[in-house]
């Protein structure tokens, strides 16, 4: 299959590209290596994708998806069968600090991708990243795709919700097949430095107290990146999908934050100090994915527990982050 991946140098994009190359797919990656976090890490991931590719199986353009003309010519020349749109400004907590960056990258960028896809002679299937954050303060657990998502609590969540709505318009107006994936707290090697496990590991190593919000009463459906990539891949090739689909991709086991921290501290061989803080604005107390819909449609079945996944993150962190 010919697959175009936006955000290919990102955390999830990198793992997806390597997995698709190992299946023998032809890839076209797009990323602008922005400075939301260390661009050196993105370049390093990108080098690894190149190293994993057979001659001619990985093409790449450094471009901003908001540059519709440049994106259009990349899509025109490659003629993908599937587009996976992962490029976005991630992170709910940061979105209040840089609202215009989120609107531009997540909303204008998404519209640009939709427009370029719909203009193709053979319109590709579009699989795009949404987020568990769209569930906002929903307290009915586990979150299932039929729950109302009209009350997001961060700007980031609002951009992802709007992506889902706009994708619905394009699938309805133009017959585009659009598949939105609500990822739940993804973690693993080559992780983002702005995310919780990285921040905890950095603080543990530096001997700083860990900032624990909501006094530690937080639960997350931590999902190992290989499981997420398996879920995405199933959605790329599954023949059993409707024209417009929304799926949760999680592990379906909410874990106490303090349990994850215990495993990580054990792996790093430290006894952390804690600074307990109130709930942060724009945050959710618990996330928990109901995955029965994607399991039914695609056979998705996550297999990595936190007792296996956190040590795999920690091994990478020790090798890559501590040796810098
Ligand atoms: N990691 C998670 O836990 C998680 C959870 C829910 C949703 N998501 C979503 O999944 C997607 C991938 O997340 P990630 O964790 O890999 O993030 P990431 O930041 O590591 O990857 C995103 C990549 O997109 C690129 N990018 C951003 N804006 C761009 C633009 N305008 N043009 C071209 N490239 C651009 C960035 O340089 C980066 O390499 C994002 O859409 C994110 O919102 C992630």
- In this prediction, residue 281 carries a pLDDT of 79
Boundaries of every domain in the chain: 2-185+224-251+289-304
How far, in Å, from the CA of 8 to the mean position of ligand 1?
A: 9
Is the pLDDT at 282 greater than 80? The verdict is: no
Mean pLDDT of the chain: 96
What local confidence, expressed as pLDDT, does residue 208 receive? 97
- Both structure tokens of 271: 């006894």
Residue-wise pLDDT for 187-205, tens only, equals 999 999 999 999 999 999 9
* Calpha distance 90→302 (Å, rounded): 23
Percent of the chain exceeding pLDDT 90 equals 93
Average pLDDT over residues 229-237: 97
pLDDT (average), residues 66-84: 97
| Class of CATH domain 2-185+224-251+289-304 | alpha beta
Name the packing angle between helices 257-268 and 196-206 (round to 10°): 50
Q: Is pLDDT above 90 for 137?
A: no
Ligand 1 mutation target, pool 45, 48, 87, 196, most atoms within 8 A of CB? 87
| Beta carbons of 224 and 302 less than 8 angstroms apart | yes
pLDDT of residue 192: 97
Cβ 88 vs Cβ 10: under 8 Å: no
Q: Exposed, middle or buried: residue 142 (CB in 10 Å: 0-12, 13-18, 19+)?
A: buried
221 lines ligand 1 (CB under 6 A): no
Residue 156: pLDDT over 90: yes
Q: Are strands 125-131 and 178-183 parallel, antiparallel or unpaired?
A: parallel
**In this model, does residue 100 exceed pLDDT 80?**
yes
Distance 90 CA to ligand 1 centre (A): 5
Query: Residue 324 above 80 pLDDT?
Result: no
- Look up 156 and say whether it is catalytic: yes
Average pLDDT over residues 206-229: 96
- Helical packing angle, 257-268 and 306-316, nearest 10°: 50
The predicted model gives 209-228 an average pLDDT of 96
* Interacting residues of 178 by C-beta distance below 8 A, sequence separation 6+: 125, 126, 128, 167, 168, 170, 171, 243, 244, 245
Question: Can you tell me the mean pLDDT for 90-114?
Answer: 95
Residue with tokens 């600074």: 275
What residue has token string 């949404």? 130
Report the SS3 class of residue 296: helix
The model's confidence at residue 283, banded by pLDDT at 50, 70 and 90, is confident
**pLDDT of residue 155 exceeding 90:** yes
Cβ of 33 below 6 Å from ligand 1: yes
Residue burial 261-278, b: 16+ Cβ < 10 Å; e: rest: bebbbebbeeebeeeeee
Biggest distance spanned by C-alpha atoms of the chain: 59
Give me the catalytic one of 14, 36, 102, 156.
156
- Residue 2 predicted with pLDDT over 80: yes
Closest ligand 1 atom, CA of 187? Answer: 3
Q: How confident is the model at residue 56 (pLDDT cuts 50, 70, 90)?
A: confident
Please report the pLDDT score of residue 247 as a whole number. Answer: 98
Asked which of 54-58, 124-128, 280-284 is least confident by mean pLDDT, the reply is 280-284
Supply the pLDDT for residue 284.
85
- How would DSSP label each residue in 281-302? TT--SB--B--HHHHHHH----
- Whether pTM > 0.85 for this model: the answer is yes
For ligand 1, atom 19: residue with the closest CA? 10
């Amino acid at each position: 299959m010919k697959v175009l991946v936006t955000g290919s140098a990102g955390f999830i994009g990198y793992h997806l590209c390597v997995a698709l190359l190992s299946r023998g797919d032809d890839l076209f990656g797009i990323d602008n290596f922005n400075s939301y976090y260390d661009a050196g890490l993105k370049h390093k991931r990108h080098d690894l994708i190149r190293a994993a590719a057979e001659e001619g199986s990985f093409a790449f353009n450094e471009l901003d998806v908001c540059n519709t003309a440049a994106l259009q010519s990349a899509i025109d020349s490659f003629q993908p069968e599937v587009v996976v749109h992962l490029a976005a400004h991630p992170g709910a907590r940061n979105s209040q600090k840089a609202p215009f960056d989120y609107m531009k990258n997540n909303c204008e960028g998404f519209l640009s991708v939709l427009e370029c896809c719909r203009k193709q002679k053979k319109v590709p299937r579009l699989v795009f990243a949404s987020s568990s954050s769209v569930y906002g303060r929903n307290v009915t657990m586990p979150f299932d795709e039929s729950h109302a998502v009209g009350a997001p609590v961060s700007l980031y969540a609002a951009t992802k919700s709007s992506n889902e709505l706009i994708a619905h318009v394009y699938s309805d107006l133009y017959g585009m097949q659009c598949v939105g994936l609500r990822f739940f707290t993804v973690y693993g090697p080559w992780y983002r430095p702005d995310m919780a496990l990285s921040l905890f590991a950095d603080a543990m190593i530096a001997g700083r107290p860990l900032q624990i919000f909501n006094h530690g009463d937080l639960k997350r459906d931590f999902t190992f990146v290989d499981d997420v990539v398996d879920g995405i891949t199933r959605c790329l090739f599954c023949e059993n999908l409707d024209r417009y689909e929304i799926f949760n991709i999680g592990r379906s086991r909410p874990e106490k934050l303090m349990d994850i921290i215990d495993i990580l501290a054990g792996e790093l061989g430290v006894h952390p100090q804690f600074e307990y803080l109130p709930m942060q604005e724009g945050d959710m107390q618990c996330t928990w994915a109901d995955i029965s819909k994607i399991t039914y449609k695609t056979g998705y079945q996550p297999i990595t527990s936190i007792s296996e996944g956190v040590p795999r993150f920690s091994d990478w962190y020790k090798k890559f982050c501590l040796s810098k």
